[in-house]
Amino acid sequence: MSLPVYATPLQRIWHVAFRVLCGLIFFFLVAPILIIIPLSFNAQDFFTFTPEMLRLDPAGFSLKHYDDFFNNPDWRLPLLNSLAIAPVAMLISVGLGTLAAIGLSQSHVPFKGAIMAILISPMIVPLVISAAGMYFFYSRIGLQGTYWGVVLAHAALGTPFVIITVTATLVGFDQSLTRAAASLGAGPLRTFFKVQMPLILPGVVAGGLFAFITSFDEVVVVIFLGAPGDKTLPWQMFTGLREQISPTILAAATVLVTVSALLLITLEILRRRSERLRGLSPN
Amino acid sequence: MAEEGLMTKTDGDEFVVFDGVQKSYDGTTLVVKDLNLSVPKGEFLTMLGPSGSGKTTCLMMLAGFETATSGEIRLQGRNINTVPPHKRGIGMVFQNYALFPHMSVAENLAFPLEVRKIGKSEREQKVRRALEMVQMGDFGGRRPAQLSGGQQQRIALARALVFEPELVLMDEPLGALDKQLREQMQFEITRIAHDLGITVVYVTHDQTEALTMSDRVAVFNDGRIQQLATPSDLYEHPANSFVAQFIGENNRLMGTVTRIQGDACIVRLDSGDEIDAKPVNVIRVGDRTQISIRPERVETNKDRLRDGAHTLQAEVLEFIYMGDIFRTRLRVAGHDDFIIKTRNAPDQIRHQPGSMIDIGWLPDDCRALDAPQGT
């Protein structure tokens, strides 16, 4: 990425300016997230840096907001609710999304484009509209205000992510492998679990993580469909901001950011591993 | 149309039979038209043809990945039209190897044995034997991505053989290898096939491969078998102009039959010259015909020709030194793409471009075939 020796002065200026510009964009994207992390260790109940913090005086820092987050029932219950909803919604999304992607990758399926468009529409339709529609529909069939109502709604929102990531891995999947498995005597089920599944696993896991995160920080649908007892973490953060303005929300945010970052790193490691296995990159 | 081929080897044991098989993908055009073929046990049969000739479709129907539109495919006398691929017990080697990339070489080979619920110790023993057979004994722990193309092909071969199928299908297995490796693998595949006594149906578009490896070759074009014969019959006695042109190098001269007398005929070339030929699929005097002569069967030494044999005047256009042979391009009877091949022997004449020579041939080497449409 260094400049060629024949670069003109204008090219040199642009070379530097381009880097600065990229840095600024990056800062703009990341700063609001990163600033939360030091603030969450504030010893005071403020949303600003205290003079003690700026002096890096240990007295200015504390874990009390984390203590509040994990031990105050106002926060602990929503956290547990979120943890009860997101994994179940994710499992449903992964199951349905993977099957849909494999089905849509077969050459003989008619109306593939239309089916695909319908299945990924929850990603495109504004959430408020989906949520309002689900509210009326789920009320009719008695799912509104129930745990399973929220789980099903979140599964519907997460499924498109699974379909897209699994479809993307299937593009690189060599269909002659399933033929090879059949010629070696393996039935369709064994072929799926022993040959196809291990190879598309990175796409399935990636889609699953997206589905998990979708459910874990979803607030609109849960406000429409959730019972007061099923308050989730984002819902609590939303009401917390409006009603009590407690810095505990910063601790909650830090925990969520950390969990998300860890998930994404896991994802990247898995992706590299699969590329190595498939021989796409040198070891 | 296959005069010699179809008759020679139907000695009772019909291991694989295609009986009136047709295949259409879209319901209107037939990719395979009325295929009748029987392969005896232990034969190495090659389906040879240009792309789109239906040869791969036939292989896929035999493997069970495509279903015949009509007709019957039998394996050991049993109709297998409705048997799914995984229950046919047919080994298959794919063009792109199709090794499972997430399994080691040994796991790839153990896969068909696990499916057949073979115990661990017997499994390991069979895997080791199969690897040794393809001279890859030390590679069991590697991943397919860590092997070269030729090594991957050996593993694919071992995997198709490890569960001891009696029939193995190969779909252009050497297509992706370089020339030297290809020749070595040709030899090895035929050796292993004969050692194990398995029946092989091999698909390729490479005629050298077909000639060197096969017991019999089925030449496909336009969804039909044009000729089914042994390699030497195919090369020396092509049954029609397509086969003559497709197999090996071939000189073509166009003309009209003027006299037929049993096993010989006289053909008047478009230039007016008359030559002797062997009638193959011309029937009447006045038929248009394509004369086919192999470049190495053209004789430039008059002494070696039969008395009274017709000769033609030829102008030397180009002399190409190729090491083991000389390749000389001539203008003969108005065609300037007439090739002769002569062996590089000490007394061999090196024809100079511009010189005029007389060429001739034995009538048996000069075959009067059907004229392709539009000529």
DSSP E strand boundaries for B5-88: 16-24, 30-39, 44-48, 70-75, 78-79
Q: Is B65 helix (H, G, I), strand (E, B) or coil?
A: coil
Candidates A185, A188, A277; nearest CB to B115: A185
Question: What is residue B36's predicted lDDT score, i.e. its pLDDT?
Answer: 92
Strands B167-171 and B325-332: unpaired
The owner of tokens 């035999």 is B62
Whether A187 and chain B come into contact, CB under 8 Å, resolves to yes
Chain B: residue whose CA lies nearest to A280: B145
pLDDT tens for B225-238 read 999 999 999 988 88
> How many CB pairs (< 8 A) connect A and B?
76
A270 touches chain B (CB under 8 A): no
Q: Sorting pLDDT into bands at 50, 70 and 90, what band is A253?
A: confident
Q: Does the beta-carbon distance from B115 to A277 stay under 8 Å? A: no
HSE (CB half, 13 Å, CA atoms) of A152?
A: 14
- What tokens appear for B135 in the block? 């001279």
For residue A180, the chain B residue with the least C-alpha distance is: B98
Q: Where in chain A are the domains?
A: 80-277
Give the pLDDT confidence score for residue A183 in this predicted structure: 93
pTM above 0.90, yes or no: no
Cβ <8 Å between B102 and A174: no
First to last CA, chain A: 24
CB contact under 8 Å between B98 and A179, yes or no, is: yes
A chain contacts of residue B157, beta-carbon cutoff 8 Å = none
Q: Cβ separation of B100 and A190 shorter than 8 Å? A: no
Which of these, A215, A206, A202, lies nearest to A256 by C-alpha position?
A215
Poorest-confidence range of A105-114, B97-106, B164-173, B315-324?
A105-114
In chain A, whose CA is at the least distance from the CA of B147?
A279
- What local confidence, expressed as pLDDT, does residue B374 receive? 60
Mean pLDDT of B74-81: 90
Contact A183 B111 (CB under 8 A): no
Q: Do the Cβ atoms of B63 and A179 come within 8 Å? A: yes
Residue by residue, DSSP assigns B246-257 as HSS--EEEEEEE
Q: In sequence order, what DSSP letters do the residues of B80-145 get, joined into one string? A: -TTS-GGGS--EEE-TT----TTS-HHHHHHHHHHHTT--HHHHHHHHHHHHHHTT-GGGTTS-GG
pLDDT at B26: 84
Q: Does A197 touch chain B (CB under 8 A)?
A: no
Strands (E), A33-173: none
pLDDT tens string B237-261: 888 889 988 888 889 888 999 888 8
Flag whether pLDDT at A92 surpasses 90: yes
Across residues A143-153, what is the average pLDDT? 91
Per-residue pLDDT tens for B103-161? 999 999 999 999 999 999 999 999 999 999 888 889 988 889 889 888 999 999 999 99
Q: What residues of chain A lie within 8 A of the CB of B163, using their CB? A: 184-185
What's the confidence (pLDDT) of residue A1?
Answer: 57
Q: Of A14-18, B41-45, B344-348, which range is least confident?
A: B344-348
* Beta carbons of B98 and A198 less than 8 Å apart: no
Q: Which helix (H) or strand (E) holds B197?
A: none
* DSSP at A193: I
Check CB contact under 8 Å for B65 and A190.
no
Residue type, B84: P
Answer whether B86 sits within 8 Å of A279, measured CB to CB.
no
Query: Left (φ > 0), alpha (ψ -120 to 50) or beta: where does A64 sit?
Result: alpha
Determine contact, residues B115/A249, Cβ cutoff 8 Å.
no
pLDDT at B6: 41
User: How far apart are the C-alpha atoms of B96 and B145, rounded to whole Å?
Assistant: 13
Residues B266, B275 contacting (CB under 8 angstroms): yes
Nearest to B89 among A185, A190, A194 (CB): A185
Chain B residues with CB under 8 Å of A279 CB are: 101, 143-146
What pLDDT band is residue B375 in, cutting at 50, 70 and 90?
low
Judged by CB atoms closer than 8 Å, whether chains meet at B115 and A184 is answered as: yes
User: Strand pairing partners for A212?
Assistant: none
* pLDDT digit string, tens, across residues A194-214: 999 888 888 898 899 889 988
CB contact under 8 A, B163 and A185: yes
Partner B contacted by A273 (CB < 8 A): no
Mean pLDDT across B348-360: 88
Q: What is the pLDDT of residue A278?
A: 63
- Assigned architecture for domain B249-370: Beta Barrel (2.40)
- Nearest residue of A to residue B160 by CA position? A184
| pLDDT-derived band at A273, boundaries 50, 70, 90 | confident
The alpha-carbon gap from A174 to the nearest alpha carbon of chain B, in Å, equals: 8
Measured between CB atoms, which of B92, B101, B116 is closest to A278?
A: B101
State the nearest Cα–Cα gap between A108 and chain B, in angstroms. 12
Give chain A positions within 8 Å (CB) of B56.
none
Would you call A272 an interface residue with chain B, using a CB distance cutoff of 8 Å? no
Instruction: Tell me the chain A residues in contact with residue B98 when contact means C-beta distances shorter than 8 Å.
Output: 174, 176-177, 179-180
pLDDT score recorded for residue B58: 93
List CB contacts (< 8 A) between A186 and chain B: 86, 111-112, 115
Which chain B residue lies closest to A176 (C-alpha atoms)? B98
Q: How many CB atoms lie within 10 A of CB A24?
A: 10
Per-residue pLDDT, A107 = 79
- Going by pLDDT thresholds of 50, 70 and 90, the confidence category of residue B13 is low
Q: Which CATH superfamily is domain A80-277 in?
A: MetI-like (1.10.3720.10)
- Bridge-based pairing of strands B199-204 and B44-48 is parallel
Return the pLDDT at A153: 94
pLDDT score, position A282? 41
Please check whether residue B58 is in contact with residue B35, taking contact to mean a CB–CB distance below 8 angstroms.
Answer: yes
CATH topology (fold) of B5-241: Rossmann fold (3.40.50)
Which residue of chain A has the CA closest to B91? A183
Cα(B121)–Cα(B259) distance, integer angstroms = 73
What is the mean predicted confidence (pLDDT) over A63-74? Answer: 87
Q: Nearest CA to CA, how far is B112 from chain A (Å)?
A: 5
- Quote the ipTM score: 0.79
Which residue would you say has higher pLDDT here, A106 or A148? A148
Q: Which of A262-266, B190-194, B308-312 is the least confident region?
A: B308-312
Partner residue facing A190 (CB), from B64, B115, B146: B115
Contacts B101 to A, Cβ<8 Å: 199, 277-279
Residues of chain B contacting A203 with CB distance shorter than 8 Å: none
Domain-by-domain residue ranges, chain B?
Answer: 5-241, 249-370
Minimum-distance CB partner of B100 among A177, A187, A283? A177
Chain B CA closest to residue A201: B102
What is the pLDDT at residue B10? 41
- pLDDT for the residue numbered A56: 81
